[in-house]
Structure 1
């Protein structure tokens, strides 16, 4: 029998031709040469080589070490390139040219697929915000007065966004509990996860030109899973009055694969009903296309699933977040990344952070390898996700994984 082609995928493969996420990779024989790749099943297609072989007009965009030039090319190019890629991996006449350009996934090294320009993180799950409010303000209103009027966010540190598989060094900093007479310095003892989705900006804007809700797809290329690691003890001491700083800036992990928005058309859903009227620039009630996404996320610690947050419950949509962060005239740059904020649902097993899952350490998780309140050195956190796709098939999102390593010794 002839050997099965890598393009002959099992029925329902979540990384089939309906998906085609982008990434950057190197091979063992050319470790210094990064290439733009597209995932198909358990293989990576060298997109630049394929474009050159088949005479694509977009060959120069795809023969790049990363996704940046394609991101900057705009929506028409995104659509045309995706159509071409779909044909290259599905039309039998192309197989002879395409199959030699496929690399087994386990034989390549994956890299951060684009240069992150700016990084913004939001706080847009009502369930998460309510839980956090109850934890830290048990006798007060859980949501701040502005929460249902605008998507709250903060500016993070783009230089510490790392690709899945990168070790996360336990951060050190100041911390102070109510019982401490003065702040202490040392490694964080409340290291946490935040299960999020990151949106990747392609087309830039000019300074002073806000992006309206209906222009979301003209500027956002796609998304990938994101883990906003958080040192809760450092954060708690430093965040008043200016918000997250060192408690968040040490590392943010993202998947090596960016899924184009077009691959998620079947996963679009209406956001939760809103019980407070928003200002006109954020009003999406008349939009033809639903602004929410039905993404099913799973979070595992050392292989044990601890949470399954549903992205469909997010109160503020990605389009509203983009519009709000540009409404003051702030410009977009190619490669901007913005996080959804922690994804949490109404049930205990749907909470997207250990802060919520253990109620700030009060209720430890009972796991096969021991109890956990917050992360210990050596713990490995893995996030995976899928979304409904066309004809009942699933769209897989690339996983994001990080292992906690000890803080460096200090004298």
Structure 2
């Protein structure tokens, strides 16, 4: 069967790889000149299944109001008349219940843990290298309230069989000695030993090279104009280089998927949430992360990637705007300097990207429902890198008619119709 994959980020390329390995004729179309040049380019670098948590949580509205009053707020909302944003925010608030939080986190953990296992298999079978590390993640708590709230997440982690341990200051320093200079700022930490790290852009480039050897055809620099359809089937994709046709079509275009498929009558609750990152040259190896940590107060992640430190985070609702705002850079730099400080911020590269978020935190992976030969793999939010391998393998199995290795019905678009 010929499958046309739309989108060349880490999700699209991972999907193309697994489809090719299952024997399909695969073609991938991407508007950028290379793979992983948008959301996948300079993310926080974390493969963090244990940290897979929906934003929609009990108490979020109250927290959001408090954040708005802070100079270094982890959340910014740029007021705008945007019906899609209003609908998305309303759906997010509807998921801010204990019942919804437990359900959403559990299924996110299921997919993320599976994805980590798929990535391990891929690395062992192919030898792919991407500045990867397998040393776990520590979520750092600066306040007693954060430490107390960790009990809720630990309960769900235990129910899902995810390894974890609560650390005091001494325990944190044992795993992350670079934090000994800032230990006085910390109340404790939650360590997730199964989490990993790596450069998503480097991974995607190298996986694309491997996929090309498996026969995947990459059409780069090709814009997708519209989806051609008739009755219950997609008939082709109109692009800047003509119409491309296949037997099956996979939409993996991140934040652009909802707009692309709206003319087909499909309403995907995927909205862009803007994030920022700094890539900082290492200067003092004694004051940088051993692997990866998350500053819970400012929602900032810090990851060691070879001789660089990737500092990423914050969330901004601003539509599709890609303006690099100096205030967000200050927040990232402040968090890093307070905790570590072993990098050259003057030579840091500042970047922003748009994360494709769903209101319940779970990506949309599965059949489109209305069109028999259209499939979806989108809406991974901040966890695209974490869930890429598992989502790619899952959708490849579904397209092939194979029985997937994990429960998947509640990952499909149809879950919104049932809500």
Which TM class, normalised by the smaller chain length?
Answer: under 0.3
| Rg (Cα) greater in structure | 1
TM-score under structure 1 normalisation? 0.25
TM-score under structure 2 normalisation? 0.24
